Amino acid sequence: MKRRDEVVVGIFVTIAVIIGIAGTLYLARRGFTKSYPMYARFDWGQNLKVGQPVNLAGVQVGFVHSVDLDPAGYLDVKMYIDRDRRIPEGSTVTVQSEGLFGDKSIAIKPCRRALPPASATEPPANAPKPKEDLTLPPEPVCRPGAFLPAGDTIPAGRPAPTLDQIMTRVDSMSAALGDVTYAVRLEFVQNGGIAELRQTIANTNHLVTQLSGVAKVQSLALSATLASLKRTLDAIDSASVDSTMRNMSAASKNLSALTRELDTATVHVNAILDKLNNGQGTAGLMLNDPGVYNNLRQLLARLDSLTADIKANPKKYINVKVF
Amino acid sequence: MSEHVYRRSRPTAALPVHQRWVVMFFRQMTRWVVALFGEIGERVYFGVEIFRAFTQVRTWVPLTVRQMRNVGVDSLPLAGTVAAFIGAVSGYQTVYQLFPGAQLSAVGWIVRQSIVLELGPLITALTLAGRVGARMTAEIGTMRVTEQIDALETLAYDPIAYLVVPRFVAGVTMLPLVTTIAIATGIAAGGLMVVAFTQVTLTDFTTGLHITFIPFQVYYALIKATLFGAAIAFIGSYEGYYAEAGAEGVGESTARTVVISSVVILVLDALTALYLAPQLKP
């Protein structure tokens, strides 16, 4: 019996100690998954607490292990990331709000996905370049397969605007809207703007009425003009128009016959010209044989010398004898 | 002469009536204060006796295992049942106290904090004060009124080492362990309840369990459980050891054990919160 007590108590103590240690580890280390540490640094006043979730692209991958206050104005945050999750190189961390309790979580924003090959996405040369906000740092681009090593510090990204900042902006917008409303009221109510507007509308109505009268008169005149034109057209003799058209048709036929004859004549002239160019026939030989040209030159030179000789010695050639 | 003797024995008789009442009031107050300090002194002396008896290892060690089973193993069904119901109800209640827009993971966080920090140790201790403390008083008290304790002294046994030390050791060691299992049972029952009957998912609940947790929260619960265990064993043993003669005396001592233990547990709870709660801030 006594021995049995010892066994039962031993089992009980063992189970209780295991539950105590395992439960504490489970609560403190967010489950029994193995993890590795990563670090981040934020400005003061982020309301971060131990145990809050760390999300990568919206999926919880770890938890906040410790938050230390750096007197230089920073919070040094140690996170534990599940061992089977890896943080892409170029990722940034920000503190995000969750729910209405003011709960926070750390969001790891992965870097932009690497662009596909340049040929597929290269814009045309004359395409306008997209506007870039020069005040913001450029978003880092992933290197395929590159991950941050365990124990590294993830750089902090641009924090999302807080409710206070949004409310401040809304306040300024509200003040500006109030100024505009005041100016409108001043112009339209106190300075008689509405009365002037009504007068303008009345004048416009009057003008429209006048224009309507003018349009009516013009419409009548136009109707008269059309009637007159119709009468003139009716007066034209259709028989004479027909004969004129027939004459014009005959003239057109004659013109086409003349054109055909001219074509035939052109063919003939072209044939003659071809013959001339090719040196066929008398005229062709005369035009194309250089010997004829030379002979003619010689003949002309002789004629010149003969003419000169005749001028010089006329009596040599002309011997007029009277009786 | 007789007048003189009377005056010496009852000096207030010579005083006017209103002065006599004042003197009697202060006399009674003095008696109460003296009795109070006497009670405290007796308990301190009892405590010293316990520590002195720790030296008689051969006497108390073999008997401790039996008491550990009584305090720990045999109390587990009751403590576990109470903790399970407390955890389930607190989880279910918490879901319906959340205002719209609140994160559902807050349920896990609230259940964990309430069970680990307060309800687990406190409810377990109060339950065991009734079950274990009363039993100790009844056992030792019966031995007192049946003069078994006197017989032990006659046989040269130290009754403190024989009866009290095993119970004290069992209370101090077993209550933290029972509390540990009760906390685990309470949180598990709370999670089971909210996941089964409300819109809270298991992920919500387990996410909330980890928020702002530091291991000192568990140590804090175990420190409290140790103190509660010591208080239950000490008060139960003391009331039994000094039980008045007769069955009525044992019954009175048993009732006093439950009342005093409950009050002392609550006072100790407040004191530990006062001293240790600031260190619980994550």
Q: Do A16 and B106 touch (CB under 8 A)?
A: no
Mutate to test the interface with B, among A2, A27, A30, A163 (most CBs of B within 10 A): A27
Of residues B79 and A121, more confidence is placed in B79
Q: Which residue of B has its CA nearest to A23?
A: B184
Tokens of A27: 């609560």
H-state helical runs in A117-192: 118-121, 163-185
Residues A202-258 have pLDDT tens digits of 999 999 999 999 999 999 999 999 999 998 888 887 788 888 889 999 999 999 999
For B69, nearest residue in chain A (alpha carbons): A9
Mutation target among A24, A48, A52, A98 for the B interface, most CBs of B within 10 A? A24
Highest mean pLDDT among A226-235, B95-104, B198-207, B263-272: B263-272
Q: Helix H segments across chain B?
A: 2-9, 17-53, 57-68, 76-97, 105-113, 120-128, 134-145, 148-154, 159, 165-197, 202-210, 216-241, 247-276
Q: What is the pLDDT of residue A137?
A: 57
Q: Is A47 on the interface with B (CB under 8 A)?
A: no
What does residue B93 show for φ and ψ, rounded to 5 degrees? Answer: -65, -40
What residue has token string 């709370």? B190
Q: Which residues of A touch B65 (CB under 8 A)?
A: 2, 5-6, 9
Confidence of residue A155 (pLDDT cuts 50, 70, 90): confident
Q: What is the mean pLDDT of chain B?
A: 90
Q: What is the dihedral of CA A25, A30, A31, A37, to 10 degrees?
A: -90
Q: Which residue of B has its CA nearest to A105?
A: B211
Are residues A50 and B282, on separate chains, in Cβ contact within 8 Å? yes
Return d(Cα B111, Cα B94) in angstroms, integer.
8
Model confidence at A84: pLDDT above 90? no
- As a whole-number percent, the residues of chain B with pLDDT over 70 amount to 95
**Which of B228, B225, B217 lies closest to B116, judged by CA?**
B217
Asked whether residue B196 carries a pLDDT value surpassing 50, the answer given is yes
pLDDT of the residue at B221:
95
- Residues B238-245 have a mean pLDDT of 90
Rounded to whole angstroms, the maximal C-alpha distance in chain B is 92
A155-159, A204-208, B108-112, B232-236: segment of lowest average pLDDT: A155-159
Residue boundaries of the structural domains of chain B: 1-53, 57-280
Give residue A71's pLDDT: 85
What would the pLDDT profile of B110-121 be if each residue is shown by its tens digit?
Answer: 999 999 999 999
For residue A323, pLDDT beyond 70: no
Using the Cβ of A16 and the Cβ atoms of chain B, whether some distance falls under 8 Å is answered with yes
pLDDT, mean of residues A95-105: 73
Q: Compute the average pLDDT of residues B129-149.
A: 92
How far apart are alpha carbons B231 and B226 in whole angstroms? 9
pLDDT at A131: 53
Is A109:A92 a contact under the CB 8 Å cutoff? yes
CB of A47 closer than 8 Å to CB of A103:
no
Q: What is the pLDDT of residue B100?
A: 77
Query: Would you state the pLDDT for residue B1?
Result: 45
Spatial neighbors of A286 by CB under 8 A, at least 6 apart, are: A292
Question: Is A31 part of the contact surface with chain B (CB cutoff 8 Å)?
Answer: yes
- pLDDT above 70: residue B4: no
pLDDT tens digit string along B67-109? 999 999 999 999 999 999 999 999 999 999 888 777 888 899 9
DSSP-assigned states of every residue in A56-91: ETTEEEEEEEEEEEETTTEEEEEEEEETT--PBTT-
Chain A residues in contact with B181 by the CB 8 A cut-off are 15-16, 19
- Of the candidates B209, B234, B189, B217, the one whose C-alpha atom is nearest the C-alpha of residue B91 is B189
CB pairs A-B closer than 8 Å: 86
Dihedral, B273, B275, B281, B282 alpha carbons, nearest 10: -100
The predicted-structure confidence for A8-55, as pLDDT tens digits, reads as follows 888 999 999 999 999 988 887 766 778 888 998 888 777 787 778 888
Q: Is the pTM of this model over 0.80?
A: no
Across the interface, whether the CB atoms of A99 and B112 are under 8 A apart is answered no
Facing residues of A153 across strands? Answer: A39
Token couple for A106: 């750390």
Please give the pLDDT value at position B220: 94
Residue B102 to residue A5, Cβ atoms within 8 A: no
Q: Look-up: residue for tokens 């209405």?
A: A100
The Cα–Cα gap between A169 and A178 comes to 14
* Res A166 pLDDT > 90: no
Alpha carbon of A169: minimum distance to chain B alpha carbons (Å): 25
In terms of C-beta density within 10 A (0-12 exposed, 13-18 middle, 19 or more buried), how is residue A320 classed? exposed
CB-closest option in A6, A19, A28 to B181 = A19
Nearest in space to B169 (alpha carbons), one of B69, B45, B270: B69
- Residue A21 forms contact with B (CB below 8 Å): no
Please report which confidence band the pLDDT of residue A188 belongs to, taking 50, 70 and 90 as the band edges. Answer: confident
Lowest-pLDDT choice from A71-85, B5-19, B195-209: B5-19
Minimum CA–CA partner of A67 in chain B? B282
**Which of B105, B177, B210 is nearest residue A12 as measured by Cβ atoms?**
B177
Q: What average pLDDT score do residues A293-302 get?
A: 90
Residues 6 or more apart whose Cβ sits within 8 Å of residue A112? A139, A140, A141, A142
Instruction: Render pLDDT for B48-62 as a digit per residue (tens, 0 to 9).
Output: 999 999 998 888 998
**How many angstroms separate the CA atoms of B274 and B282, rounded?**
17
ipTM: 0.78
Nearest-by-CA chain A residue for B222 = A20
**Cα–Cα dist B182/A150, whole Å:** 38
Count the Cβ atoms, other than its own, within 10 Å of residue B242.
Answer: 16
Measured over the CA atoms of residue A59, residue A62, residue A65 and residue A66, the dihedral's sign is: negative
Calculate the average pLDDT of chain A.
82
